[in-house]
Each structure stands twice: as structure tokens, then as C-alpha cells.
């Protein structure tokens, strides 16, 4: 194990990235433990930071840490400073965890920390952790592995092949995202063959791709709905269970008359679209 760590992490110059990932993960777990203790009103745990009665969210501390450490990292970039680089990367990782843990608040400009919208913060943390892990293991998307180094000296055919492959990968990623498969599109940027599979398979029923391509193809729409209910929803429930095991239970959705009316309108619109698609297909 020590030999693998030395060969894969230290000798390749990825030790600061490793320290960033460790500090990011530990800071996220700590801050989630902290907010859960505060939410449970545990007496022995310090509460929120409220100088003068104003609640200062922990993303503020995270922003300051990211700005300071990021600035210093840029300032010393041209110098050989291995130890400061490790320390600064660790500080940046802590700051990033504090910011992404409140990503939903930044996105919605509202205190939705424990609401259903707050799940997007956990998703953002998972995405950051996954991307960093790929880079730490030396798995990079096309363009980050020196793919374009020496392209100007290559012959026209080789240069065209590299550029065409790069454009194809981006196109497949866009199609995958348009089909509503965010995680598949993200991971596919690092593992190219996955993009081919996900770009070919059916899109999710409420994705932009489904609205564009399945409106007049009822069989594909019905198949997409079936797959969503049969395969996707159990995965989503498992993901939510993992999220709540780590981050705490989110508040349940409060169903109001307005919510019910909106859902009924959405269901009616979906039924009308499906009926129109079947009618168009029958008279095609």
C-alpha cells in the first residue's frame, strides 16, 4: 500500500490534490455532524455563529478560506514550495467543503438547507468528490492528459483525428445530458465508452430530449416511463437513503392545495401530450 501511494500519489506530484480531497471529505463530514447536532439542539454542542444576532452561514468562512488559499497558491505558483502547497491545498479543500455544503442556499438565494431543494448541496459535494477522485487516480477527461501537446507539429490527418475525437466526445456528453443522465454524462467524460452506451439508450421521460424526440413517438415515451419507474426510481431512493445517512433527514414535502393543483396540471399536460403523440402516430 505504501509503495502504491508513493508511486501513484507522491511521485506523480498529486500529494497536494490528495490533501485537498482528504481535507474536503473530513470538513464536509464534520460540518454535517455539526449542523445535525445544532438541529437536534444538543446542549453540549456549540450553536450557530450569530454575532449581534446575525446568523453567519459557514459558506462565508469557506469563501474566505478559498479566496485566501487560492490567491496564495497563485502567488507562489512559480516557486518550488511543496510544503506550503500541501497546506494551502488542504485549506482550499476545507473552504470548498463549507461552500458546497450550502450550495443550495447560493443557488436558490434562500435558506433551503433542510428542505428538498437542499439535496442539491449533497449532489454538488458528491460531484466534487467524484471528479477529484478521478484526477487523483490519474483518470482525466480528453484534453487534460496532454492530448493536444505537440498538435501543431503533427501532420494534418493526425491533428484532424484528435480534434474529431474530442468533438465527438463532447457531442455524446451533450446528448447524454440532454437525455437527463447527469451522472452518466459526468462519468462518461472520464470513461469514454460509457458515453457511447448512454447516448444511444433512451432518455428520461421528462428530459429535454424526450420533449424533442418522443412527442410523436408514443412507444418510446411509454418505454422511457416504464424504465424510469422500474429502474431509475429505486436507484434514486437508494441515493436519497445514502444522502440522509450522511447528511441527516430532510424535511418532507408539504403538499398544499397549490402544489396539488400544479401537479394535477402537470399530469394533465403530460396526458394530453401522450394522447397527441399517439394520435399523430396513428394517422402518420
Output 148 or 272, whichever has higher pLDDT.
Answer: 148
**Domain boundary at 139, 160, 179, which?**
139
Four-residue CA torsion sign, 249, 105, 131, 133: negative
Q: How confident is the model at residue 255 (pLDDT cuts 50, 70, 90)?
A: very low
Residue 168 has pLDDT above 50, yes or no: yes
Is 47 within the bounds of a domain? Answer: yes
Output 114 or 281, whichever has higher pLDDT.
Answer: 114
Is 259 within the bounds of a domain? Answer: yes
User: Do 213 and 195 reside in the same domain of the chain?
Assistant: no
Residue 141 has pLDDT above 90, yes or no: no
Instruction: List the domain range (segments joined by +) for residue 6.
Output: 1-139
Q: Average pLDDT for residues 177-206, to the nearest whole number?
A: 90
Contact criterion met (CB below 8 Å) for 183 and 203? no
- pLDDT of 24: 97
CB burial string 113-144: b at 16+ within 10 A, e below: bebeebbbbbbbbbebbeebebbbeeeebbee
User: Do 206 and 193 reside in the same domain of the chain?
Assistant: no
Secondary structure of the chain: what % helix, strand, coil (to 5)?
75, 0, 25
Is 220 within the bounds of a domain? Answer: yes
Percent of all residues in the chain with a pLDDT value above 70, rounded to a whole number: 84
| Torsion of the alpha carbons at 6, 15, 131 and 248, rounded to the nearest 10 | 100
Q: Average pLDDT for residues 63-70, to the nearest whole number?
A: 97
Is 255 within the bounds of a domain? Answer: yes
- pLDDT of 96: 97
User: Do 98 and 207 reside in the same domain of the chain?
Assistant: no
* pTM for this prediction: 0.79
Q: Average pLDDT for residues 162-170, to the nearest whole number?
A: 85
User: Do 23 and 72 reside in the same domain of the chain?
Assistant: yes
Contact criterion met (CB below 8 Å) for 209 and 175? yes
User: Do 92 and 173 reside in the same domain of the chain?
Assistant: no
Is 167 within the bounds of a domain? Answer: yes
Q: Average pLDDT for residues 254-276, to the nearest whole number?
A: 52
User: Do 1 and 111 reside in the same domain of the chain?
Assistant: yes
Output 228 or 67, whichever has higher pLDDT.
Answer: 67
Distance between CA 113 and CA 90 in Å, rounded? Answer: 25
Distance between CA 38 and CA 51 in Å, rounded? Answer: 17
Residue 264 has pLDDT above 60, yes or no: no
- pLDDT of 1: 72
DSSP 228-250: IIIIIHHHHHHHHHHHHHHH-PP
- Return the top range by mean pLDDT from 80-94, 146-160, 237-251: 80-94
User: Do 187 and 267 reside in the same domain of the chain?
Assistant: no
User: Do 165 and 250 reside in the same domain of the chain?
Assistant: no
Give how many domains the chain has, as a whole number: 3
- pLDDT of 4: 81
Residue 75 has pLDDT above 50, yes or no: yes
* Lowest mean pLDDT, pick from 45-59, 60-74, 158-172: 158-172
CA distances from 42 to 32, 46, 121, 260 (A): 14, 8, 24, 36
The rounded mean pLDDT for the chain is 85
Is 144 within the bounds of a domain? Answer: no
φ, ψ (nearest 5 deg) of residue 207: -80, 160
User: Do 163 and 82 reside in the same domain of the chain?
Assistant: no
**Domain boundary at 118, 139, 160, which?**
139
- pLDDT of 273: 55
Is 39 within the bounds of a domain? Answer: yes
Q: How confident is the model at residue 5 (pLDDT cuts 50, 70, 90)?
A: confident
User: Do 33 and 132 reside in the same domain of the chain?
Assistant: yes
Q: Average pLDDT for residues 214-230, to the nearest whole number?
A: 88
User: Do 120 and 182 reside in the same domain of the chain?
Assistant: no
User: Do 31 and 133 reside in the same domain of the chain?
Assistant: yes
Q: Average pLDDT for residues 109-121, to the nearest whole number?
A: 89
Is 11 within the bounds of a domain? Answer: yes
Distance between CA 245 and CA 167 in Å, rounded? Answer: 40
Output 68 or 182, whichever has higher pLDDT.
Answer: 68
Distance between CA 217 and CA 205 in Å, rounded? Answer: 12
- pLDDT of 49: 87
Amino acid at each position: 500500500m505504501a509503495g502504491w501511494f508513493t508511486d501513484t500519489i507522491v511521485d506523480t506530484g498529486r500529494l497536494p490534490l490528495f490533501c485537498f480531497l482528504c481535507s474536503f471529505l473530513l470538513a464536509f463530514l464534520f460540518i454535517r455532524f455539526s449542523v445535525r447536532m445544532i438541529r437536534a439542539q444538543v446542549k453540549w454542542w456549540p450553536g450557530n455563529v450569530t454575532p449581534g444576532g446575525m446568523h453567519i452561514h459557514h459558506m462565508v468562512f469557506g469563501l474566505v478560506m478559498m479566496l485566501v488559499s487560492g490567491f496564495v497558491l497563485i502567488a507562489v505558483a512559480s516557486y518550488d514550495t511543496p510544503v506550503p502547497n500541501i497546506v494551502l491545498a488542504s485549506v482550499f479543500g476545507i473552504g470548498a467543503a463549507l461552500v458546497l455544503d450550502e450550495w443550495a442556499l447560493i443557488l436558490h438565494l434562500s435558506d433551503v438547507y433542510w428542505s428538498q431543494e437542499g439535496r442539491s448541496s449533497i449532489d454538488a459535494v458528491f460531484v466534487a468528490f467524484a471528479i477529484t477522485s478521478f484526477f487523483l487516480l490519474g483518470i482525466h477527461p480528453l484534453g487534460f492528459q496532454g492530448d493536444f501537446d505537440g498538435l501543431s507539429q503533427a501532420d494534418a490527418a493526425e491533428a484532424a483525428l484528435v480534434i474529431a475525437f474530442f468533438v465527438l466526445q463532447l457531442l455524446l456528453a451533450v446528448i447524454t445530458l440532454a437525455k437527463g443522465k447527469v451522472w452518466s454524462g459526468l462519468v462518461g467524460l472520464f470513461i469514454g465508452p460509457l458515453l457511447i452506451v448512454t447516448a444511444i439508450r433512451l432518455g428520461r421521460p421528462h428530459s429535454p430530449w424526450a420533449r424533442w424526440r418522443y412527442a410523436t413517438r408514443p412507444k418510446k415515451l411509454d418505454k422511457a416511463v416504464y424504465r424510469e419507474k422500474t429502474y431509475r426510481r429505486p436507484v434514486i431512493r437508494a441515493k436519497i437513503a445514502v444522502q440522509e445517512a450522511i447528511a441527516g433527514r430532510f424535511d418532507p414535502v408539504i403538499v398544499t392545495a397549490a402544489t396539488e393543483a400544479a401537479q394535477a396540471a402537470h399530469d394533465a399536460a403530460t396526458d394530453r401530450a401522450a394522447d397527441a403523440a399517439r394520435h399523430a402516430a396513428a394517422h402518420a
